[in-house]
Amino acid sequence: MSQSVLSIIIPTYNESKDIKLCLESIACQKIKKNKIEVIVVDNYSTDDTVSIVKSFSKKINIRVIFNKVKDAEVSKMKGFLKAKGDFFMYLDADMVLSDENFVRKMTFPLEEDDSIVGVFIRFLVNPTHHPLTRTLSYDEWQRDPIFKYFTTSIKEIIVEKRKNYFFCALTREKIPPQGLMIYRRNLIIDYVSNETQLIDNEIPAVLFNMGYTNFAYVPETGVYHHLLRSLAELYKKRIRNLQRTYFPNKKKRLFKWINWNKDLPKIGIWLIYTNSIILPIFVAMYHFLKYRDLCFFNEPVINLVSTYSIIFGVLNNAKNKK
């Protein structure tokens, strides 16, 4: 079987502390050099990011393009438009492929079954990461509790166990929030022609809306993502996502993780739960006993910060509209 080319897009801005590990995990892949192309889209970093990237030019097929707009989704789009691979994925600079066979394992379902259009990537727990990051990484899609409560899990879309992967089928009611995946690039070329941002967690809904329902999930590999190092960072990420991707595209987005009218009872239940404090503590204790990791005692405060950053962002947006 002849392996297809995978394009990996990495948006960067002052990522010198993380980008080396990310690129090293790509360089060690057991696959021919010409079967992976890496495009780093840099926002004119002022540190050593670009020089570190260029130092990998003999190890992997890599190039740098520049983007003046400091928006990761805009950078992903610029990278997509320059990509030439049959398959496409993005990586954040602080993501690391978990093993040297990641690409082989992840592209296998796409090579084996032409009806499969995308393969969801699993997040894995790195014991050296910050406790806040570990708390979220025990979820296969690194969702914090509020997103787990309102969104579809991998278990809800798996329909068949196959050799080396799970076969998944999406429905209108069951579209997962995971945008980190490897998918067939040509399928969304027409879609991106009308967009300035490539919003990753929109892609499963876009593909489903085009009539593609078959996906895959590979549990035997994944990525390590050092997502959070402080609660302030969690707050900033939630606000930034609302301001840059959710509200500007609210009317035209196909994937909406919450329906503010239909899900009103669920919203009320969540607010009661997270503000009770004692209930999240009991849940944290259960997770601690299950995984034997003290990081889970961060859950109650993660719930509060996530919930109230979203509430603040929504109220602030309504105020600005007025």
Domain that holds residue 305: 231-321
Q: How far is the C-alpha of 285 from the C-alpha of 265, rounded, in Å?
A: 26
User: pLDDT at position 2, please?
Assistant: 58
Residue 246 lies in a domain: yes
User: pLDDT at position 258, please?
Assistant: 80
Last residue of a domain, one of 66, 97, 128: 97
Residue 60 lies in a domain: yes
User: pLDDT at position 322, please?
Assistant: 63
Last residue of a domain, one of 71, 97, 123: 97
User: pLDDT at position 310, please?
Assistant: 92
Residue 172 lies in a domain: no
- 264-276 and 278-291 helices cross at what angle (nearest 10)? 80
User: pLDDT at position 253, please?
Assistant: 86
Residue 300 lies in a domain: yes
Strand partners, 271: none
User: pLDDT at position 252, please?
Assistant: 84
> What CATH number does the domain containing 83 carry?
3.90.550.10
Last residue of a domain, one of 97, 112, 127: 97
Residue 32 lies in a domain: yes
Residue 142 lies in a domain: no
DSSP 246: I
Q: How many CA atoms lie within 13 A of 206 on its CB side?
A: 23
**Nearest CA among 223, 226, 222 for reference residue 129:** 226
Q: How far is the C-alpha of 53 from the C-alpha of 50, rounded, in Å?
A: 5
Q: How far is the C-alpha of 29 from the C-alpha of 24, rounded, in Å?
A: 9
Residue 5 lies in a domain: yes
Residue 102 lies in a domain: no
Number of domains in the chain: 2
Q: List for the chain the helix, strand, coil content (%; round to 5).
A: 45, 15, 40
Residues of the chain with pLDDT under 70: 1-2, 322
